Structure 1
Amino acid sequence: MAASTPRAELHPGLDYGMRTARRHITALDGEGKSVFVPDRDILYCNRGGYAVSWTYATSEFPIDMTDNKDLNGFLSDDPSSPNSVVHTGSRIVNGGGVTFNTTNFSPGTETVMHRTVSLDFVAVVEGEMELELDSGEKVLLQPGVGHSWSFIFATKCAALSILVSL
């Protein structure tokens, strides 16, 4: 699987001392019963001091769940599927869809100042982080603004992000 996308590696987030993540995805089987989809390794992309994974991604919104279309696209190793897991880390936001990211940061890491064309919901689940806007302010009030993340603390940090493409 890693050969499909040279930028993605299995679990480099563990290099930053983070816990192993698991995801549980449910779907409907051919008889309409709820089932768990077979688990597969979560791919992380090492972005230099931090690692990003697509915990889940869709290629459109609203999501077409007919016959598990969104799920089949995500679990596909086919790079022609825009929401395929093989695109993990090659882009943070999946244009036109929704992306659920897990990000693991090592202490002392700073991201570059950037903007995403998305509405982002970020929850810190472990450690501390500092958000800096390009104006120098410390609070994010609206989407599409320039910002960077700093992990200046001595502890590791993990965050979950849901990004809705605009």
Structure 2
Amino acid sequence: MSFSEGVKASPLRDNVRHITTHDSTTGKAIVHSSTPGNWSSFDDGKLGFNVIYTTDKFPPDLNDDEDVKAHDRVRASGKLGLVNPGGTVCRTVDFSPEYECMMHRTQSLDYGIVIEGEIEMVLDSGETRLLHPGDVAVQRATMHAWRNTSKTKWARMVFVLQNCEKVRVGDGLLGEDLGCGVEGLPPSDTAV
């Protein structure tokens, strides 16, 4: 699987991140910054990631832009996996037509929201669900894959991943499992 930093693979509209803050003299809400997506392309351009924002703890510290500085540090480190230990990750993911990502598990509670197209959620039990725009999958550290069911159209999801305690099932302890892995994507326990 190939990895390309700064490459947007899909033809879908780029998204822009708008961060708000407060005017230090009036206390009124203002726009801190507006920036276009920062995309990475995986698996020969069939999968695109745009990390919208991260936090490194919960609750985050918004004073003196500490959360913005923490996000910038994590992004600059190049060590962000799917999950940011102790924090959150908000990410846009684009899937090419008929693409199915690897079966994987994150140590996190995830909200996956379909924005465009249709995506099939595939669980390691063999159970599947077809999600449509506006549908939300709440992933609770489960082994899963995502499959774009369209033969011609790209699909987009937004994910919010929140680090969680390790999950016990019977006598076993579940943790992150990236299956065959993705070139350029480090394990989640290496983030700064």
**TM bucket, shorter chain:** 0.7 to 0.9
Say which SS state the counterpart of residue 35 (structure 1) adopts. strand
For residue 133 of structure 1, what is the amino acid of its counterpart?
Answer: L
Change (3 A) 1:45 1:54: same
**How far apart in 2 are the matches of 1:152 and 1:163?**
24
Counterpart position of 2:173: none
Counterpart position of 2:38: 43
In structure 1, stretches of 5+ residues that fail to align are 1-5
Contact 2:117-2:156 within 8 A present in 1 as well:
yes
Task: Give the superposition deviation at 1:141.
Answer: 7.1
Counterpart position of 1:145: 142
Counterpart position of 1:112: 102
Are 2:91 and 1:97 equivalent residues in the alignment? no
Task: Give the superposition deviation at 1:85.
Answer: 6.1
The structure with more radius of gyration = 2
For residue 113 of structure 1, what is the amino acid of its counterpart?
Answer: M
For residue 149 of structure 1, what is the amino acid of its counterpart?
Answer: W
C-alpha RMSD of the superposition? 2.2
Change (3 A) 1:85 1:30: farther
Contact 2:110-2:139 within 8 A present in 1 as well:
no
Task: Give the superposition deviation at 1:120.
Answer: 0.5
What is the aligned counterpart of 1:123 among 92, 97, 113?
113
TM-score normalised according to structure 2 size? 0.71
What is the CA deviation profile of residues 17-73 of structure 1, one whole-angstrom value per residue up to 9, with x for unaligned ones? 111211211012432332212223321111221111111110111111121100122
TM-score normalised according to structure 1 size? 0.81
Say which SS state the counterpart of residue 71 (structure 1) adopts. helix
Q: Identity across aligned pairs (percent)? A: 30
Contact 2:110-2:161 within 8 A present in 1 as well:
yes
Change (3 A) 1:42 1:85: farther
**How far apart in 2 are the matches of 1:142 and 1:18?**
25
**How far apart in 2 are the matches of 1:142 and 1:116?**
9
Say which SS state the counterpart of residue 52 (structure 2) adopts. strand
Counterpart position of 2:162: 164
**How far apart in 1 are the matches of 2:68 and 2:127?**
39
Say which SS state the counterpart of residue 114 (structure 2) adopts. strand
Would you tell me which structure has more strand in proportion to its own residues? 2
